[in-house]
């Protein structure tokens, strides 16, 4: 019974990082950059989005549906955004080259989220396994801890 409680606490703590994951930056097989912004919009609010990037402390707007905001001409016709189900937006940019360390930023309504610094040459591939491995370090921790938990459970019998 005690080991079951410990395992339950461990599992709950392990899942928390996934629930907080609100931006995923990766490169598709066709070399397009993909940014999934999974922020849930607030109820009864017009859903607006903005995608931008920050290099060397300078933020540049890539794409937005906010009236009156101008995107950088360099990205104007080179990005597209589509809604995700049940909420969020996905930005894709064909043939995007990551030439220096970059932070990607997405905003939905009044909420915003930074990707953290994506280092030059370290953009992960958009496969379910690689994105999960990159963004869910808890998974590796859980898999490595499983034998320990099993042994602990057997020793308490």
pTM (2 d.p.): 0.69
Q: Is the pLDDT of residue 13 over 50?
A: no
Q: Who's near 76: CB < 8 A, 6+ residues apart?
A: none
Site of tokens 């019974």? 1
**Cβ atoms of 130 and 124 closer than 8 Å:** yes
Residue 140's φ and ψ, nearest 5 degrees, are: -60, -45
Q: What is the pLDDT of residues 40-89, one digit of tens each?
A: 888 887 889 999 999 998 999 999 999 999 999 999 889 999 999 999 99
Residue 149 banded pLDDT, cuts 50, 70, 90: low
> Does 22-126 carry CATH code 2.60.40.10?
yes
The CA-based dihedral angle spanning residues 37, 48, 61, 32, taken in that order and rounded to the nearest 10 degrees: 40
Q: Please state, in angstroms and rounded to a whole number, the distance separating the CA atoms of residues 101 and 120.
A: 5
Please report the pLDDT score of residue 80 as a whole number.
95
Distance linking the first and last C-alpha atoms of the chain: 9
Domain range summary for the chain, segments of one domain joined by +: 1-21+136-157, 22-126
């Amino acid at each position: 019974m005690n080991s079951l409680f410990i395992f339950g606490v461990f599992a709950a703590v392990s899942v928390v990082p996934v629930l907080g994951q609100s931006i995923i930056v990766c490169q598709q097989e066709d070399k397009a950059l993909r940014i999934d912004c999974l922020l849930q919009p607030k109820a009864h609010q017009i859903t607006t989005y903005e995608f931008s990037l920050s290099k060397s402390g300078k933020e540049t707007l890539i794409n937005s549906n906010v009236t009156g905001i101008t995107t950088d001409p360099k990205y104007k016709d080179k990005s597209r955004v589509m809604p995700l189900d049940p909420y969020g937006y996905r930005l894709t940019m064909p043939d995007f080259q990551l030439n220096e360390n970059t932070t990607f930023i997405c905003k939905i309504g009044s909420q915003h989220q930074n990707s953290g610094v994506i280092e030059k040459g370290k953009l992960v591939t958009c496969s379910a396994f690689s994105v999960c491995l990159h963004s869910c370090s808890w998974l590796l921790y859980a898999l490595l801890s499983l034998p320990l938990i099993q042994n602990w459970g057997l020793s308490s019998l």
